[in-house]
A and B are shown apart, each in its own frame.
Chain A
Amino acid sequence: MLSFIIRRLISAVLVLFAISVMVFLIFFATPGVDPAARIAGRSASPAVVAAVRAAFGLNRPLPVRYLLMMDHLFIKHDLTSYVNVNTPVIPQILHAAPVTLSLVLGAAVIWIIVGVLGGVIAAANRGKFIDPLIMFVGIAAVSVPAYWLGEVVNYFTQSKFHSSVFSWVPSSGYVSPLTNPWQWALHLLFPWLTLAALFAGIYARVLRAELVNALNEDYVRTARAKGLSERRILLRHALRCSLISIVSLFGLDFGALVGGAALLTEIVMGLPGIGQLTYNSLQNLDLPVIMGCVMYAAFFVVFANAVVDVVYALLDPRVRVA
């Protein structure tokens, strides 16, 4: 097990290195683009451009520039915005990260619970009305843009029915769980549901397929022959094995969410997280902030994937030797 964890960590570090090199090449070595002018912002004075050139060592060899960028991002933490002059970037990212984490973790809890419940119910009632429903939800989940769904949800909860059914919904924003845990959950409820709605359907669909497969396995026949109840077979025997595939799927989706749908949902839901920060800096082309957000989010995704793989190996010993 230990050797698996070490191997997985080494590969994660290699991936992190590869991603950082790619970000570096995109931002600093795209042919035909002057990185200093881009980073300095749209109407920067020659002095500012010269300062950027010095700070990132743009007249020095590529490897030195790479090290300087990583130094600013991860060691000295002194990357500064040139659009909002002298605003350090890294503290903004660290300030925004808990919001994104709250959003993603809460949504993940909801979609796992709903997805597993839905999958089990669908497998128990296979061939009945629930099958086409699960099919439909699964298709919808890969066709609905999360940020658009967020806007629609916002419209109904904040405007259309805000005076009647949804009068208890607070106006969009974020409250730290340290100041008021209840308000934190209340503010995040609909963002959570929006994200969870997209994934719960897929999970129910996958789990149903896995459960139906598992119910045809020999060990289930043995359990039936021993006279166990159908409920016990489904929950204790079939579900246990089927959950393994859900864990590996979760690893992929959780990463994709942090690097995609969650960021977009934050923007429409008015949550001041990494996504909102990226969106605002895209509006005024504040490149250092975008670079920092991309790098930190990508690193988080790789780290989260590694953790999920280790959990997966804990659950399924076959993975450890592969």
Chain B
Amino acid sequence: MAALGVVLLVVSACLLAPFYAHDIAHVDAFSSNLNGQIRLNGKWVSVLQANTQGLGLGVTPIGPTWHFSNYFLGADNQGRDVFTRLLYGGRATLLIGTTSAVICCLVAAVLGLAAGYFGGVIDWIISRVFDIVWAFPIYLLAISLSVILLTSGLNVGPIHIGAGSLLLPIIIIAAVFVPYVGRPLRGIVLSLKEREFVQAAIGSGASDWHIITREILPNVAPTIIVFLPLMVAFDMLTESALSFLSIGVQPPSASWGTIIQDGLGLLYTRPWVAIAPGLGLVLTAGALNVLGDGFRDAFDPKAKLRGSI
């Protein structure tokens, strides 16, 4: 339950991002604020402060003020409020993680059911596609797809998706993980097909559609539900990794991955820029993983032995 609480807390905090930006912090998370000044302890302070050490060249963004009304976690290189960006970034990361997990599970369910139920040529084709994608290291596949699609967008027939759209990372991440869900589902369908109640349905002349939706799907659904939170966690981590490589969410949009990348250059002076989004990721992904384990225990009591380890 604590895990569910953590997830809900993170989600609601991120959903409140615009409210926080407009009404509490009074900042714009997406435009740079190089000459901005804030009022701190009764004094006006520049958001970007001139370096005093070394040659005195360049600027260092202001550090955490720990006041919610004013640059709670400090500013980044562009003078933007890191905490506000963190909330907005969480929105992108959660949105991409959830939608791509849902798409991935849906596609995997359709393919897994088709392959397991119909067998024959359909099974052979789907299984070979799964095998090939499975053998391709996930990140390398995602990098190849992203670098091509993110520079030019996706144009297949009537479908046009712009280069900066969030849909691209969503589709790419969903596609890459399909075999990881589809293969186990196919296995489950194969074994279900041999069971008496399915044989009975076939024997009594039920249509394929009826058997798939009424007999097999209800028995596969718990597995899909168990997969879902785990896939959201996986997809969030993949999104962040791609964004960190600058081939995920494109500027000026933010995600936890892009903020970690922003923080890479500021690591020794303003470590919170990199640490905070990572903490958000670890917290959310960890809670989702605990949640997935809990779902598994609830749906499959026999697996409790594994869950308690």
- Chain A residues 149-176 with CB under 8 Å of chain B are 149, 151-152, 154-155, 158-160
A311 CB within 8 Å of chain B: no
Find chain B residues with CB under 8 A from A255 CB: 137
Nearest CB in chain B to that of A262: its residue = B139
Nearest CB in chain B to that of A285: its residue = B151
Question: Known contacts A139-B290, A148-B278: does B264 contact A268 (CB below 8 Å)?
Answer: yes
Nearest CB in chain B to that of A151: its residue = B274
- CB pair B143–A294 under 8 Å, yes or no, is yes
- CB pair B309–A134 under 8 Å, yes or no, is yes
**Pick from A31, A267, A302: contact of B135, CB under 8 Å:** A302
A90 CB within 8 Å of chain B: no
- CB pair B155–A32 under 8 Å, yes or no, is yes
- CB pair A148–B260 under 8 Å, yes or no, is yes
- CB pair A19–B136 under 8 Å, yes or no, is yes
**Pick from B144, B241, B290, B309: contact of A147, CB under 8 Å:** B241
Question: Known contacts A148-B260, A155-B268: does B132 contact A19 (CB below 8 Å)?
Answer: yes
CA distance A32 to B145 in the complex (A): 14
- CB pair A143–B289 under 8 Å, yes or no, is yes
**Pick from B143, B156, B278, B293: contact of A31, CB under 8 Å:** B156
Find chain A residues with CB under 8 A from B278 CB: 144-145, 148-149, 151-152
B108 CB within 8 Å of chain A: no
Interface-centre pick from B136, B137, B154, B155 (highest chain A CB count, 10 A):
B137
Find chain B residues with CB under 8 A from A155 CB: 267-268, 271, 274-275
CA distance A91 to B82 in the complex (A): 40
CA distance A287 to B271 in the complex (A): 32
Nearest CB in chain B to that of A34: its residue = B152
CA distance A160 to B22 in the complex (A): 34
B64 CB within 8 Å of chain A: no
- CB pair A15–B306 under 8 Å, yes or no, is no
- CB pair A294–B132 under 8 Å, yes or no, is no
- CB pair B246–A283 under 8 Å, yes or no, is yes
Shortest distance from the beta carbon of A21 to any chain B beta carbon, whole Å = 9
- CB pair B140–A259 under 8 Å, yes or no, is yes
Question: Known contacts A22-B132, A135-B309: does B138 contact A140 (CB below 8 Å)?
Answer: no
CA distance A139 to B307 in the complex (A): 11
Binds A, one of B38-46, B210-218, B279-287: B279-287
Q: Is the interface of B mostly helix, strand, loop or mixed?
A: helix
- CB pair B263–A151 under 8 Å, yes or no, is yes
- Chain A residues 251-291 with CB under 8 Å of chain B are 255-256, 258-260, 263-264, 267-268, 278-279, 282-283, 285, 287, 290-291
Shortest distance from the beta carbon of B127 to any chain A beta carbon, whole Å = 13
**Pick from B143, B149, B260, B289: contact of A151, CB under 8 Å:** B260
B245 CB within 8 Å of chain A: yes
Question: Known contacts A151-B260, A209-B306, A282-B246: does B135 contact A32 (CB below 8 Å)?
Answer: no
CA distance A138 to B285 in the complex (A): 13
Question: Known contacts A38-B152, A145-B241, A148-B274: does B145 contact A26 (CB below 8 Å)?
Answer: yes
Find chain B residues with CB under 8 A from A145 CB: 237, 240-241, 244, 260, 278, 281-282
Question: Known contacts A151-B263, A152-B278: does B147 contact A131 (CB below 8 Å)?
Answer: no
- CB pair A158–B268 under 8 Å, yes or no, is yes
Number of B residues whose C-beta is below 8 Å from A?
Answer: 51
- CB pair B156–A38 under 8 Å, yes or no, is no
- CB pair B244–A260 under 8 Å, yes or no, is no
A4 CB within 8 Å of chain B: no
Question: Known contacts A134-B309, A145-B281, A290-B144: does B290 contact A279 (CB below 8 Å)?
Answer: no
- CB pair A298–B136 under 8 Å, yes or no, is yes
CA distance A263 to B285 in the complex (A): 21
B225 CB within 8 Å of chain A: no
Q: Interface readout for A24-67 with B: 1 if CB under 8 Å, 0 if not?
A: 00110011111000100000000000000000000000000000
CA distance A302 to B136 in the complex (A): 8
- CB pair B152–A139 under 8 Å, yes or no, is no
Shortest distance from the beta carbon of B140 to any chain A beta carbon, whole Å = 5
B247 CB within 8 Å of chain A: yes
- Chain A residues 71-120 with CB under 8 Å of chain B are none
A23 CB within 8 Å of chain B: yes
Nearest CB in chain B to that of A158: its residue = B268
Find chain B residues with CB under 8 A from A121 CB: none
Nearest CB in chain A to that of B142: its residue = A260
- CB pair A298–B151 under 8 Å, yes or no, is no
Shortest distance from the beta carbon of A199 to any chain B beta carbon, whole Å = 15
CA distance A297 to B288 in the complex (A): 30
B233 CB within 8 Å of chain A: yes
Find chain A residues with CB under 8 A from B131 CB: 15, 18
Shortest distance from the beta carbon of B168 to any chain A beta carbon, whole Å = 12
A1 CB within 8 Å of chain B: no
**Pick from B137, B240, B245, B289: contact of A301, CB under 8 Å:** B137
B184 CB within 8 Å of chain A: no
Find chain A residues with CB under 8 A from B237 CB: 143, 145
Find chain B residues with CB under 8 A from A279 CB: 245
Selected A-B contacts with CB under 8 Å, 23 pairs:
A19-B135, A30-B149, A33-B148, A138-B309, A139-B293, A142-B233, A143-B286, A144-B278, A145-B244, A155-B268, A209-B309, A212-B309, A255-B137, A256-B137, A260-B241, A283-B246, A290-B143, A290-B147, A294-B140, A297-B137, A298-B136, A301-B140, A302-B135
Closest 7 CB pairs of A and B: A259-B137, A32-B155, A148-B278, A143-B285, A143-B286, A260-B139, A159-B268
